[in-house]
């Protein structure tokens, strides 16, 4: 008996595992070319680039294949177009028609299955602790909050609220009386940051699942309309029922409703943006790369983009319903039905007397037209002959300036200057070692690369210092050694300005806030 039970359990587990491996996510990870496919998706799509024009992606995949083959790395023996079509059939890519500045164009975007596979690979490839104080604190706080909501006992809920109020009041009174504020260490901030990034990284696939559910509902309703198998009222009732079920009975639907409620609260959104900026003002943020800081600050933009994509799918579905209802002419359908019935009736009458080889004469071409005037001048190919080919003089053309040469002749490179100062400060050059000590702007400038020490960069550097609130005039002068684009050196003496550790932390976050308003 026990042996039969064990066999039954293993057979059931095997069936469930096979079902999981049949899903597109695991099928993607189980293929021979899975590393290549995921590398292409990782290189072609990002959080800020969710869709790519079809022809552009075909060209990019061809370029990736050529690069790999040139280095001797094994790659699929197919064209970029054929691979993209195959990936679309495997439910890893989704093709849709999008409206742009130059009209409608077809775009590829990743499905939720591809996003889940990328998320899994990123989690396995990254070096991070699976357990931390921040993660446990998040779990404990969530469990406490849900337990409070789940308990119907009024006295127990009041007791929990009183306990929270007492704890918060005690901490407020301690701080108001001049108590010590324990600053979070870099290790603690890194743990909390990793926990937040792990949660934020799951948002795109969640939104994509909602978008795909709405798109599947859209296709089903269109098929119902075309099939004319059900009345319009039944189709509309089914649409409304599925919409309610999608937003209330599924996990991704509930997540979408929660995010939608969040984004409608302007005060909460402003608070979220301010909290993100506060986190990046901590000194630990100097150890993050520029892309990591930008990605973290774009959390609100990520939420809004996901909401917009889902709402766009719902708008397309609603538009299809409205157009069908408006354009569906019941009277014309009934007239056509009457005509077809009359034809069938006449055919039945004719078949009573017609033989097996009888035919009916039908006029396939329209009759002749009575035209009073015909064209007297006909098309002449000579009149539309193209001009002679231009002479190729490209070999005599001078070499054009590069983009780098043009930028060297322009104004200050503020963004590169900010990044260079932050990198120099994090590496220990251009700043004092003691906390709170000041480093001069001139010494930081003279330590930069020659490409960032043009004379015009002095103006950009002074502009950055002025935006940080650094005093305009300080005792003494300092020398700025500049390098012109032609290689000549010139020294300028300017009033001394200094930067502190707090100024550099603010400078690291200064280039992020304006991009995500």
DSSP string of 80-138, one letter each residue: HHHHHHHHHHTTSEEEEEEEETTEEEEEEEE-HHHHHHHHHHHHHHS---S--HHHHHH
- How distant is the alpha carbon of residue 26 from its chain centre? 22
115, 194: one domain: no
Q: Which residue has the higher pLDDT, 114 or 218?
A: 114
Phi-psi region of 216 (alpha: psi -120 to 50; beta: other; left: phi over 0): alpha
206 and 301 belong to one structural domain: yes
**Same structural domain for residues 118 and 195?**
no
Tell me, yes or no, whether 318 and 212 share the same domain: yes
**Lowest pLDDT segment from 52-66, 118-132, 187-201, 267-281:** 118-132
Tell me how far the alpha carbon of residue 372 is from its chain's centroid. Answer: 64
Given a contact cutoff of 8 angstroms between Cβ atoms, the answer to whether 441 and 500 are in contact is no
Buried b (16+ CB within 10 A) or exposed e, 329-354: eeeeeeeeeeeeeeeeeeeeeeeeee
- CA-to-CA separations, 399 to 96, 301, 395, 408, 512, in angstroms, rounded: 42, 42, 10, 17, 37
How many residues can be counted in the chain? 517
Judged against a pLDDT cut of 70, whether residue 423 lies above it is answered with: yes
Q: Is 368 helix (H, G, I), strand (E, B) or coil?
A: coil
**What confidence category does residue 393 fall into, taking pLDDT thresholds of 50, 70 and 90?**
confident
| H-helix or E-strand spanning residue 145 | helix 133-150
- Are 108 and 198 in a shared domain? no
Residue 169 pLDDT exceeds 80: yes
Q: Is 340 within a domain?
A: no
List all residues 6 or more positions away from 123 whose beta carbon is below 8 Å from its beta carbon. Answer: 198
- As a whole number, mean pLDDT of residues 16-37 equals 77
Residues 312 and 438 in one domain: no
Q: What is the mean pLDDT of residues 206-235?
A: 68
Same domain, 115 and 192: no
- Where is 173: in which H helix or E strand? helix 154-176
Most confident of 27-41, 53-67, 171-185, 407-421: 53-67
**Would you state the structure tokens that stand for residue 171, as one six-digit string?**
């901490």
pLDDT, position 515:
47
Q: Which residues contact 68 (CB under 8 A, 6 or more apart)?
A: 36, 74, 75
- 166: Cα separation from own chain's centroid: 43
| Residue 336, in any domain of the structure | no
Sign of the C-alpha dihedral, residues 121, 125, 126, 127?
Answer: positive
Q: What is the domain count for the chain? A: 3
pLDDT score recorded for residue 161: 84
Q: Is residue 386 part of a domain?
A: no
Q: Across the chain, what does the average pLDDT equal?
A: 75
**Mean pLDDT to the nearest integer, 245-265:** 64
pLDDT at 491: 92
Is residue 361 a part of any domain in this protein?
no
> If 0-12 CB within 10 Å is exposed, 13-18 middle and 19+ buried, where does residue 176 land?
exposed
Res. 119: pLDDT tops 60? yes
pLDDT tens digits, 458-499: 888 888 877 777 565 567 888 889 998 888 999 998 888 777
Q: Are residues 116 and 206 in the same domain?
A: no
Number of helices and strands in the chain (H, E): 21, 7
Tell me what the mean pLDDT of segment 155-171 comes to: 84
pTM of full prediction above 0.75: no
Alpha-carbon distance 66 to 68, whole Å? Answer: 6
pLDDT mean over 104-114: 81
Query: Which contacts of 31-34 are long-range, i.e. CB under 8 A and separated by 24 or more positions?
Result: 33/76
The pair phi, psi for residue 72, each rounded to 5°, is: 85, 10
- Which of 75, 95, 125 is the C-terminal boundary of a domain? 125
Task: For residue 491, tell me if it sits in a domain.
Answer: yes
- Chain mean position to CA 263: 17
Domain boundary among 125, 150, 173: 125
CATH of the domain at 214: 1.20.58
Mean pLDDT for 299-306 is 75
Range of the domain at 504: 411-516
Do 284 and 186 contact (CB within 8 A), yes or no?
yes
Same domain, 219 and 314: yes
pLDDT at 129 over 50: no
The backbone torsions φ and ψ at residue 377, rounded to the nearest 5 degrees and listed phi first, read -120, 125
DSSP character string of 321-345 = HHHHHHH--HHHHHHHHHHHHHHHH
Of 291, 310, 327, which residue constitutes the final position of a domain? Answer: 327
Instruction: Say if residues 115 and 204 touch (Cβ distance below 8 Å).
Output: yes
322-348 mean pLDDT: 73
- Residue 51's DSSP bridge partners are 109
Q: Residue 406 domain-assigned?
A: no
**Any idea what the Cα angle at residue 316 is, between residues 313 and 317, rounded to 5°?**
90
Which residues are paired to 491 by β-bridges?
481
Residue 146 within a domain: no
Q: Look up tokens 């060297």; give the residue.
A: 408
Give the model's confidence band at 512: pLDDT under 50 very low, under 70 low, under 90 confident, else very high: low
Q: Could you give the CA distance from residue 294 to residue 512 in angstroms, rounded to a whole number?
A: 6
Name the residue with higher pLDDT: 108 or 152.
108
Tokens of 88: 């679309």
User: Based on the domain organization, do 83 and 209 belong to the same domain?
Assistant: no
pLDDT in the model for residue 225:
62
221 within 8 A of 317, measured Cβ to Cβ: yes
CA distances in angstroms from 234 to 216, 421, 458, listed in the order given: 18, 65, 71
Each residue of 341-379: pLDDT tens digit? 888 888 888 877 887 778 877 676 667 777 777 777 777
What crossing angle do the helices spanning 34-44 and 112-125 adopt, rounded to 10°?
A: 100
Q: Are 106 and 216 contained in the same domain?
A: no
Q: Does residue 431 have a pLDDT over 50?
A: no
Q: What does the alpha-carbon distance between residue 430 and residue 449 come to, in Å, rounded to a whole number?
A: 13
pLDDT at 185 (0 to 100):
75
CATH of the domain at 15: 1.10.10
Query: What's the mean pLDDT in 212-232?
Result: 66
For residue 428, tell me if it sits in a domain.
yes
């Amino acid at each position: 008996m026990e042996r039969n039970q064990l066999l039954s359990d293993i057979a059931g587990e095997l069936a469930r595992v096979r079902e999981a491996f049949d899903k597109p996510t695991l099928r993607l990870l189980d293929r021979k070319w899975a590393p290549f496919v995921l590398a292409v998706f990782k290189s072609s799509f990002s959080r800020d680039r969710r869709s790519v024009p079809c022809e552009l992606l075909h060209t990019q995949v061809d370029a990736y294949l050529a690069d790999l083959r040139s280095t001797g790395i094994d790659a699929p023996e197919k064209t970029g177009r054929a691979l993209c079509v195959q990936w679309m059939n495997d439910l890893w890519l989704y093709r849709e028609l999008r409206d742009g500045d130059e009209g409608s164009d077809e775009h590829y975007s990743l499905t939720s299955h591809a996003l889940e596979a990328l998320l899994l690979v990123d989690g396995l490839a990254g070096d991070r602790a699976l357990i931390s104080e921040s993660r446990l604190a998040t779990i404990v706080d969530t469990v406490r909050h849900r337990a409070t909501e789940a308990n119907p006992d009024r006295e127990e809920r009041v007791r929990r609220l009183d306990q929270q109020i007492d704890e918060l009041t005690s901490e407020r009174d301690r701080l108001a009386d001049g108590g010590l504020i324990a600053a979070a260490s870099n290790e603690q901030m890194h743990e909390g940051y990793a926990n937040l990034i792990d949660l934020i990284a799951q948002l795109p696939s969640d939104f994509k699942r909602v978008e795909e559910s709405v798109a599947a509902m859209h296709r089903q309703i269109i098929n119902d309309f075309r099939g004319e198998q059900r009345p319009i009222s039944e189709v509309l009732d089914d649409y409304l029922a599925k919409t309610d079920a999608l937003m209330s009975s599924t996990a991704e639907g509930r997540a979408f409703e929660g995010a939608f409620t969040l984004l409608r609260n302007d005060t909460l959104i402003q608070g979220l943006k301010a909290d993100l900026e506060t986190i990046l003002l901590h000194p630990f943020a100097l150890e993050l790369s520029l892309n990591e800081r930008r990605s973290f600050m774009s959390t609100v933009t990520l939420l809004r983009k996901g909401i917009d994509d889902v709402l766009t799918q719902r708008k397309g579905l609603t538009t299809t319903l409205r157009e069908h209802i408006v354009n569906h002419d019941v009277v014309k359908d009934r007239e056509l039905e009457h005509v077809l019935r009359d034809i069938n009736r006449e055919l039945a009458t004719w078949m009573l007397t017609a033989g097996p080889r009888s035919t009916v004469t039908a006029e396939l071409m329209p009759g002749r037209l009575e035209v009073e005037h015909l064209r007297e001048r006909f098309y002449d190919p000579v009149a539309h002959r193209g001009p002679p080919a231009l002479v190729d003089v490209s070999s005599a053309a001078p070499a054009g300036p590069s983009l780098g040469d043009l930028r060297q002749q322009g104004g200050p490179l503020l963004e590169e200057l900010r990044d260079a100062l932050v990198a120099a400060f994090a590496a220990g050059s251009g700043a004092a070692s003691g906390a709170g000590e000041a480093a001069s702007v001139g010494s930081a400038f003279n330590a930069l690369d020659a490409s960032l020490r043009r004379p015009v960069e002095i103006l950009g550097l002074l502009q950055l210092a002025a935006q940080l609130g650094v005093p305009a005039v300080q005792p003494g002068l300092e020398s700025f050694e500049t390098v012109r684009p032609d290689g000549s050196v010139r020294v300028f003496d300017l009033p001394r300005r200094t930067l502190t550790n707090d100024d550099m932390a603010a400078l690291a976050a200064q280039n992020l806030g304006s991009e995500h308003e």
